[in-house]
Structure 1
Amino acid sequence: MSKDHMIRSMLSENVNMTSNGCIADQLNLEEFAECYELFFDKIMEIHVSELKGIEGYGEFDEECRTEYGSCKEFLIGTFAEHQEGRR
């Protein structure tokens, strides 16, 4: 099963995995102020999803496994060194 299919199977039916027209990082403060409640609605929709059986932390690889075994490993691996695409 591909990682997209696996993630989709875990999420609530209310969660849309595709973009609905805006990317938060591309909004200026005024634009974000007009629609920030939508972001919190999406977070709450994800929150009700059943995630039992998922072990580890980080993004899923193509084999649907996470890179880190613990939250501590995830935080150290994510923030210890400068990584491409992060400030």
Structure 2
Amino acid sequence: MNDLVARVRELRPLLTAEAAQGETDRRLTDKAVRALADAGLFRPVRRGASAATRRTCGRSWTSARKRARRTARRRGCSRS
């Protein structure tokens, strides 16, 4: 864990310097992405692909469905 924290601290000046351009572009700069990937903190994924496992995606969808059902019941829109 300490190694991870050290790598993040090393990148902070670079990421801070790239923040303004990232905000303008509304995405991470190429330089920031390369630095994160080189440090082993970020694995770039091609557009349309997911870095999450099937299990993680499944849990996310299940959680979202449960929240949607609860909201519907609170608003009186239940299908039961």
TM-score, reference length from structure 2: 0.31
User: Which structure's residues are more often helix, by fraction?
Assistant: 2
- The answer to which structure, 1 or 2, has the higher relative contact order (CA under 8 A, 6+ apart) is 1
TM-score, reference length from structure 1: 0.30
